[in-house]
Structure 1
């Protein structure tokens, strides 16, 4: 078995696709899988590609594909250049293919589509043949050095600012920012990440202020450490924004190319107040100064980080390779059964997980003594229907509880992190709804309360025809009528 990753990149194209493909390469290679990274472009002297088997070939040529891929190969394609014909050849000749797409650029043949951005709801993939789409924060592709990071503290003042306009800085913004921002803020240290050629070009054009340090060809660990050490970043709105989210570094994104618009839309889904600049705005420098002034407020930066807290955990590459290589239905055969007294500890542990408490009405940790009383009362409550989610081995994977009052049942659901990224949450919820409607004939509608900030859960409920009716206690109230469920 071999995985072949097809992409393009270089001086005139950029390194965004190369960066995320290298992450997928390293994830697969770490499992002992043979991997080729086949690149159309001019890739030379890029430190983060050290140790990667790069094949510089024009894979966009049909003859190359006919001669170099087989039915035993798995393929990953990350391209803005490939035609529909090229995708068809790869799909037909390989065992399984996965397409990386964050702009909805074409209709794809059979395979898996991955949108590695925060949100893909504004992109229509419905015309692609098989409809398999992996999207959301759990599929953001990052290098392994960016996994499960936490910033120790937020500085009272902004003392260090990171500037990243891409290796080639196609809009020439870096010298503009140096001359008009850095020179006027000598009490702030500026770290500028750029390519070697771009750094030489800037140094030949302008004199460098003493408060600037240039960095180029950083490896993943160096980049991660630099981001964590800075209080704020000014960045092009490309792949780098996801590394900044993972390191919990507040940032001011600048749209420098049209294909970054979807990244910006995704940010607004989670933070409607996100400040975004555009390189061609006539007031660009004035707006950047205003943004820096806003971000200088520590309370603003704390609030900013809270909106994105734990959003990107860095395990997207792992989940994507898992999905490419495995059949999720074989890995998890989901079952629902009624609660038993011996489930008390698993329910307690799950209920006290930080990610469960964060989106609950009561955010405080639960005491064991209180949990025992509550659990026993629920077991005896005839108006409560309590299901446990298990796999084929009867391992505990979550809980779904329905509180029945007259003709309505209010649902509460929490699932194990083992299921994160598996795309099974909607299936599990749907299965439980079907079960409650069949077992409790008096129930005519299901009520759910979802945190406004829990975008993923909101989309799952809405995908099952739940309708938002009003808000209560800072939670959205959604209702699913029985007749609406059966039109899904």
Structure 2
């Protein structure tokens, strides 16, 4: 019986780590919940976990440092899903010995993973030359992109003739104060546009963002996924960090100018650019990043260019990734 399958999700989320791991693990959790299976979370992290996982079963424990504790935590679980940048290979190996189906979410061939299912949702993941190993199966590429349920089934979005609305979303931590810096640029050169700004839970200098705002700027503090989705739908262009939000924008078809804020984003951004899905403004700490953003926005004044990016991006993200992954996990049991 499906309801008898016990699933545990081991991940991490904090100011230093960010919220991307939690967000994509929640999407898998939601796919299980839609089938009457309710995973239990074990999270290495801070206070943000309480808000992010409200209403779900979870424990906040540094599971990456104590194998003896893991045996007790994973007792009677059939499936363990691991999404971590800090857990060691020995921890992965130990978990793989404790459950029937270990599942690993990877971004850049971080480890030589043991037996199980390995997920990499980057659209170029099939080109990463993962090793062929007995007992290790791969779920690679855009078919498995992890999106929260609010982005699974979305209506058609049409492009307006003129750019009227720009959304800014730089993740939970706002690396390099990109939000305020970009908002000053928009205030100067794009003053006629509405600017909707997502403020994450770990922003340190909200006052700087407020100072850069004008009468057409609206700030949204840690909004729920439904509100983020609706804000995206109303946007003509997004200026965004190149993390999990990139997939949500692609699903809706919002033309995006991306800024890289973490090393693991580089290969994925390169692939999206090559597929004609986004415009890349470079790294947050580049001296010319604001100039690149401005130039990209100018290119996206073209309705034809916005339609091109939107159409290409939507081809790679259909919202069915979490369901496909759960299908594969259930088949492996």
Do both share a fold (TM > 0.5)?
Answer: yes
Instruction: Select the residue among 244, 248, 253 that pairs with 2:249.
Output: 244
Higher relative contact order (CA 8 A, sep 6+): 2
Deviations 1:187-238 (A, max 9, x none): 0011110225527633587353212111122222111111111001000000
Contact map agreement 1:25 1:37 (CA 8 A) in 2: no
Q: Which residue of 2 aligns with 1:320?
A: 325
Q: Which residue of 2 aligns with 1:64?
A: 69
The root-mean-square deviation of aligned C-alpha atoms, in Å, is 2.1
1:260 aligns with 2:265: yes
Cα distance, 1:246–1:114 mapped onto 2, change above 3 Å: same
* 2:82 counterpart SS class: strand
Instruction: Select the residue among 106, 115, 123 that pairs with 1:118.
Output: 123
Q: Which runs of 5+ in 2 are unaligned?
A: none
Contact map agreement 2:258 2:278 (CA 8 A) in 1: no
Deviation at 1:72, TM superposition (A): 4.2
Instruction: Select the residue among 200, 211, 214 that pairs with 2:216.
Output: 211
Contact map agreement 1:116 1:139 (CA 8 A) in 2: yes
Cα distance, 1:92–1:247 mapped onto 2, change above 3 Å: same
1:308 aligns with 2:308: no
Larger Rg: 1
Q: Which residue of 2 aligns with 1:234?
A: 239
Once the two structures are overlaid, the 10-residue window that deviates more, 149-158 or 118-127, is 118-127
Deviations 1:58-96 (A, max 9, x none): 111212112221364211001101111100110001111
Contact map agreement 2:174 2:202 (CA 8 A) in 1: no
Cα distance, 1:299–1:184 mapped onto 2, change above 3 Å: same
1:151 aligns with 2:148: no
What is the correspondence of 1:259-298 to structure 2 with a 5 Å cutoff?
259-271=264-276, 274-298=279-303
Deviations 1:366-402 (A, max 9, x none): xxxxxxxxxxxxxxxxxxxxxxxxxxxxxxxxxxxxx
* 1:310 counterpart SS class: helix
Q: Which residue of 1 aligns with 2:114?
A: 109
Q: Which residue of 2 aligns with 1:6?
A: 10
Instruction: Select the residue among 1, 17, 37 that pairs with 1:33.
Output: 37
- In 2, Cα distance between equivalents of 1:250 and 1:272: 8
Deviation at 1:182, TM superposition (A): 2.5
Contact map agreement 1:8 1:18 (CA 8 A) in 2: yes
* 1:191 counterpart SS class: strand
Deviation at 1:122, TM superposition (A): 3.4
* 1:5 counterpart SS class: strand
Deviation at 1:26, TM superposition (A): 1.7
TM score, norm. by length of structure 1: 0.64
Cα distance, 1:72–1:4 mapped onto 2, change above 3 Å: closer
- In 1, Cα distance between equivalents of 2:202 and 2:116: 39
Contact map agreement 2:253 2:311 (CA 8 A) in 1: no
- In 2, Cα distance between equivalents of 1:227 and 1:74: 34
Aligned length in residues = 328
Contact map agreement 1:9 1:43 (CA 8 A) in 2: no
- In 2, Cα distance between equivalents of 1:204 and 1:232: 19
Contact map agreement 2:180 2:212 (CA 8 A) in 1: no
- In 1, Cα distance between equivalents of 2:49 and 2:119: 29
Contact map agreement 1:264 1:276 (CA 8 A) in 2: no
TM score, norm. by length of structure 2: 0.92
1:51 aligns with 2:48: no
Cα distance, 1:109–1:129 mapped onto 2, change above 3 Å: farther
* 1:34 counterpart SS class: coil
- In 2, Cα distance between equivalents of 1:303 and 1:207: 31
Contact map agreement 1:4 1:36 (CA 8 A) in 2: yes
Cα distance, 1:209–1:197 mapped onto 2, change above 3 Å: farther
Cα distance, 1:162–1:76 mapped onto 2, change above 3 Å: same
- In 2, Cα distance between equivalents of 1:194 and 1:152: 24
- In 1, Cα distance between equivalents of 2:204 and 2:93: 41
Deviation at 1:266, TM superposition (A): 2.8
1:87 aligns with 2:100: no
Cα distance, 1:152–1:165 mapped onto 2, change above 3 Å: closer
Contact map agreement 2:10 2:81 (CA 8 A) in 1: yes
Instruction: Select the residue among 299, 302, 316 that pairs with 2:304.
Output: 299
Q: Which residue of 2 aligns with 1:339?
A: none
* 1:245 counterpart SS class: helix
